[in-house]
Structure 1
């Protein structure tokens, strides 16, 4: 088999002078060509490498465009992969590995990288055991790598969703059990009540518990509705962020005026998102409302909206100069359900708004973070994948 490979490689690298190859050898050559697997043959004495036309085609080059130099391949290996690339090869030629095998990214003619499975084996050594000749193959595994990466992302997503579902189920169970327990207790007291006044008071308590239960069910229904839409086309609308924010600011005009909070829309007018308009409006509304609700009592209050760009992402920043949050104390609770952390004991602080906001942002394919300092202010940072303006 070793000699057969040598003849096939030799016949392809020196077609003018090589003798005719046998039918069996021709079968192997055709099989290699049809499999789109590249072949390489390294001679350590001359440091020359023969690359088959299939190897060159993987990189997008014609047969005549690459020379028989080891550097032709080595210099194209991705910088992050070079260390293991050379390490695996050296382990094999030094006899520490029976075969050479490495997966690395390689720079192609079009400027993009492909993933390559690179295999090889020493087929000839000198009398001192030093490798003279190594023959190997190149296989394009880009599709498999992308599939594996997507599978890993899907696994992480499913794991994250399962964790959130577990937490959500716990929240539902806890809150419903609490309301049901309160109903049960009030009804028992009602049966034991001896006067109409007592019964009337208990009925009032029942109404309060009923309102709380209704509010809880509405909150949970909103969250379920958001999660059920997260993978549907209802989220795929091209939305102008400035106009969306302007609409929300207009709707909060009276509230901001009554609370003497100035609202500034500094979002670039040509910034867009592929999103659900209602969700984006809800997110912006909740964050501005928080800035109004938790304003600082001893200074002129303001909420500023702006956008920032990175290479691949668009960020929406909603900043206020309000009372702020103790991040060190509440970092892991800010976006949890039924958590309040401003220390104001307000009746309208139910600890649901930021949980719903986070759920909506994630449904839009984004992330939300918060930076805050007590008595200085808070900035919420929404990050989304950037879209092309030509859409």
Structure 2
């Protein structure tokens, strides 16, 4: 035991008191300075992010409203060059709605170590500002447009990095000042310390033994005349005894430590095979959610936690190693955690001590948590199953657009095996239907937008053409360089055939509508011809000889009506016989006039007035008859709706043609009361109709949608419009076509 005295030396009291007082003063001064400086710096940074929030608010709101994602991403990226900002997150509700998501998220964060501005990637969900050591404050701002609608949210995170740098400088400065003060004090006390302490200590040191053959030899130190050094001598003598006792234990613990290091710092276990005692390291227990004292050192503690399905193989591998059949014990199994869940463990071990019979006495090893690796392997297997079993064809290429892999659906659709297309270009599927400019634009979109999608006709191994809907996406690495292209396509040949049948069905339906219009248009000319010819016949039968001039006038009237009928026949024949794929440049205003000629008698007979507001010379390069068919379908839809109104009610159709920003806008609206809200989203669906079966097939507006969107590369929409005309308020459906 150490010998102690009740009194303390005056040297000890004065020295420790002096150093304690100086230390307390320096610590208080440094702490106050540190806190004050930190508060001021943080206020400055918070002010900076408030200013940034005000500056960005309106600009980003405008960009969100105009769906200019790139513009506001560039804006916030430039703002990120302020060192006060750790990151900016934007939630774009409008773009998210277009994409079918709650919001579109984007943003950037500052990597202070790399001094880089890096885009946020939300799919991984691996980055959190709150977990960033440099984060200390955030500013959330709802982005509200001029209509007081919330279109997004902006969050700005403050950067603590520069604050920490300045604070570290303060700490270093305080340490330097303290070092100067302590150095000065040390110089003053040096002489006294040397005389009072150093010389007696040197005598003690020389009394200590030396190290020989990696073993420390100790001898007893003689007591000193000084009270303090007598105490120190006795303390050292007692410690040497304890050191000798712990020396053997130290060698054993050192071996455990070395093996733990070699095991990459994972959980360590040390199994005494003979006694079934096991040492489990603190890390081993924490890995399973236990505190150090919650697991005893028994073999059963480990055995009972192994998953029942894995237990047999675990002991089989242990026995194989004990029999010398393997160099190390190695097994992957599941171990039960404190919360009842299981973790996958990579268990490795080796026998380090055997008896004279070669039987294992001591077995040590490590536990490595491989749960994430197993989860990743499972996900990879699932991804592989999807890749191989999906109905969509998948093709993966490298950055040089050379095929690396294809799935079973690709093989079924194209007829090519993986061996036949590997390292080749996707152009092996290329048909001769598209000019080089088509593929150049596709490649340009991939390079600039990162994706391309659309309908395309390709050629299979047998030379047969097939239609597909193709989506190509670029895969980039962390440096922003393209690593791969992934193409996913669906064979839509059957769908295209069905669309062709629907088009033919719609065309047949249009023929029926046209025949009705012909009947209306021919009724008056035929009546005039019949009247004129009957008059001439009666005059001849009654012996009346009309003059030559009268006969010529009558024949001229018959000829005029006959020419009108001939012109009408040519108009209808042209509509039904012209090639629907021919593309010419034509004036849309003249096309609307042509449609009016075809339907005006049907409208007149149903007391419908058509009001036109047409701008001339609006030219479009497309198939004229396709546009005529689309417009006739809309006209007929309005006609059917207005037929339900009584004769006393005013029946109106308004048609306007304008040009805006190089786009041709056609608006057609009626006053039939509009489309019921529960049906308005379905009006362009195939076979959808609110009419009786005898009045419609439900494909007219569907084909109009297909013609405008796919074949004329435009857009069409429908809304219920409320408007005033001649001091009366009307409600009706309004179709808006943009070409």
Structure number with greater CO (CA < 8 Å, separation at least 6) is 1
- TM bracket (short chain): 0.3 to 0.5
Larger radius of gyration: 2
TM-score (norm 2): 0.26
TM-score (norm 1): 0.46
